[in-house]
Structure 1
Amino acid sequence: MPSAAERTRTLVQSTCSAVLLVPGVETIRPEQLSPQARVVGPDGEVFLLFPAESPAVRAATHAQDDELSAVLEITDVAPVSVPHRIRGRAWVSGWLTCAPGIAEPGGMMIRLEVGEIHVDDLWGATSVEPDEFARAQVDPIIAHEAELLQHLHSAHGEQLQELCGLLGERARDAADDDSATGGRARVVPLALDRFGLRVRFTGARCFDARFDFPEPVRDITELRRAMHTLFEAASR
């Protein structure tokens, strides 16, 4: 399974929605506190791009060291329609300073020196040490995950349904529950990473199932092979 540090680093550098919470900074437009871009530096600091006149930049302009605390809150929402759609949240707290000279004219990069990190996602809730976060790698599938899940959902419904056969008695119990209510459990792809595929069975009983790949994949080519192997096993 991906480590908590890897999961958090992946969320920070993904396209998930994020908001920077700065004590004392309020705005009538919440989007003004959403960074336009996020990147993690070599020492684990998080650089956030904002318009030069944003409230966050104004607050950080004269801040030094640990004078201005803030929390970067990230919310991960499944890219397909599914019950309980929020897949996770992460909170990266620390101290803000401006990093002039990095952004293009009209923008300003803010540096968030990381102090504490917490993640609450499909794997569970835990804290992450800043040095572990700094060393962690981003999941190589994240840049393509949303597109791949949407494709699986729209074009491979029957193959996803066949995954029930790999769950044994658990799937049969869910099928019995749905037949008793006159319905049929629906299988929705929920998450995809280098280690495997997670789907959500929806119906009278809603539960997740995880299908691990034989070995972690490193790119899209290896992912396609792993998915082919998984669907082939489910069709037998």
Structure 2
Amino acid sequence: MLVIPGLDLAEQHLMMPVERVVEAEGDVLLLFPPDSPAVRAATHAEDDELTAVLEITDVAPVAVPHRIRGRAWVAGWLTKARDRTRPGWLRLEIGEGSVDDLWGAEHVEPDEFAAARPDPLAVHEAELLQHLASAHDDQLSWLCALVDDGTGRCPAADDAVPLALDRYGLRMRFAGRGGGFDARFEFPVPVAGIDDLRRSMHALFDAAHAARQDGPDA
């Protein structure tokens, strides 16, 4: 959702962009309905500096308690995107950003934002997590055997849900009668695409299966 000072009482659904594009230099292009208060504000401002903050909420695509995985804020200056013929496109020139997610909180400089590139699994993550949750629930529960809690036993395995997936690894959320926790399982090397991911997941499941066989309950 886009937040503009002075428009805090605007209807929220009209402040949510229907499309987003990040340009190579780091500017963010946002498409709004032509009647959005954001479009009217940018049109009225003309060449004056109009500050705005894009608030982003990342929600896990699978059913899991506490589904919000993170929040991000991108602040800058809003103008009409004059190089776009379709009405409703606005340009947000980035001034600063911040992220607070499963990996921690961090400030993001504009040059860091511009240099960042999408994770190769990002466009497939929701589908992949949903597939893992529905078709591989048994193998996912095996992964708890790779968690070292100092007892040699899996601390909780009643429910195992895939929470996040990226080129570097898989994050799981385990729940049981004794409580719940998250665990991160790193891939040996970053994956470049679906084929690499398939091999890495098979290797991870094999390692978890072997750990179960060797565990105290074997």
TM-score of the aligned structures, taking structure 1 as reference length: 0.83
Partner of residue 76, structure 2: 94
**Structure 1 partner of 2:59:** 77
Structure 1 residue 26, shift from structure 2 partner: 4.6
Contact 1:83/1:202 (8 A) holds in 2: no
CA RMSD of aligned residues (A): 1.7
Which residue identity lines up with residue 225 of structure 1 in the other structure? R
Matched, 1:59 2:41: yes
Answer yes or no: is 1:196 the counterpart of 2:178.
Answer: no
1:27-176 residue pairs with structure 2 within 5 A? Answer: 29-64=11-46, 67-104=49-86, 107-169=87-149, 172=153, 174-175=155-156
| 2:39 aligned partner, one-letter code | V
What is the match of residue 231 of structure 1?
205
The amino acid that maps onto 1:158 is D
Give the Cα separation in 2 of the matches to 1:101 and 1:119: 29
Classify the secondary structure of the residue corresponding to 1:174.
coil
Aligned pair count reads 208
Other structure's SS at 1:191 match: strand
Contact residue 52 and residue 108 of structure 1 kept, 8 A: yes
Q: Which runs of 4+ in 1 moved over 4 A?
A: none
Q: Distance in 1 between matches of 2:109 and 2:147?
A: 35
Quick check: 1:20 aligned with 2:2? yes
Give, as a single letter, the amino acid of the residue that structure 2 aligns with 1:155. Answer: A
Structure showing greater relative contact order (alpha-carbon pairs closer than 8 Å, 6 or more residues apart): 1
* Larger Rg, first or second structure (1 or 2): 2
Q: Could you list the per-position Cα deviations for residues 86-117 of structure 1 after superposition, in whole angstroms to 9, with x for gaps in the alignment? A: 0000000011000134143xx32101011110
TM-score, normalised with respect to structure 2: 0.90
Structure 2: tracts of 5 or more residues without a match:
211-218
Ranges in structure 1 where 5+ consecutive residues have no aligned partner: 1-18, 176-183
Contact kept? 2:145, 2:154, Cα under 8 Å: no
How far has the Cα of 1:27 moved from its partner?
A: 5.4
Supply the AA of the counterpart residue of 1:135: A
* Alignment partners' CA distance in 1, 2:122 and 2:48: 32
Q: In 2, distance between residues paired with 1:123 and 1:91?
A: 16
| C-alpha deviation, 1:227, in angstroms | 0.7
Identity of aligned residues (%): 61
In 2, the alpha carbon distance for the partners of 1:41 and 1:64 equals 22
